[in-house]
Amino acid sequence: MKIDTRNVVSMTNANQNFSQVAKLVDKNEEIVILKNNKPKYVITKFSDTNAISNDMLIVIAKMILAEHKHAFEVLSK
């Protein structure tokens, strides 16, 4: 997944200026919120929720696998 730096907002900024975040989503279709300088959340228009790209699904799957690696290893035995 390629992230356009114009569509990146810090968690602090998102908390303090949610209306600006919403305007960015309206303008750019989606934004990424950083937490501790790492991509943490993606906000997209509700009407676009059915149009999740394969790239996005791969990123989400990798995050889930990394977060629950130990559980998957135990289940694979």
The domain locations on the chain are 5-76
Determine the distance from the C-alpha atom of residue 14 to the mean position of all C-alpha atoms in its chain, rounded to a whole number: 13
**The residue to which tokens 């900024």 are assigned:** 13
Q: Give the model's pLDDT for residue 45.
A: 80
pLDDT tens-place values along the chain, 77 residues long: 567 777 899 999 999 999 999 999 988 888 999 999 888 998 888 765 556 677 777 888 888 888 888 888 888 88
- Provide the 3-class DSSP secondary structure of residue 55: helix
Contact of 11 with 40, CB cutoff 8 Å:
yes
Q: Give the model's pLDDT for residue 73.
A: 86
| CATH fold group of domain 5-76 | YefM-like fold (3.40.1620)
Q: Give the model's pLDDT for residue 59.
A: 82
Contact of 31 with 60, CB cutoff 8 Å:
no
Measured CA to CA, the distance from residue 24 to residue 35 in angstroms comes to 18
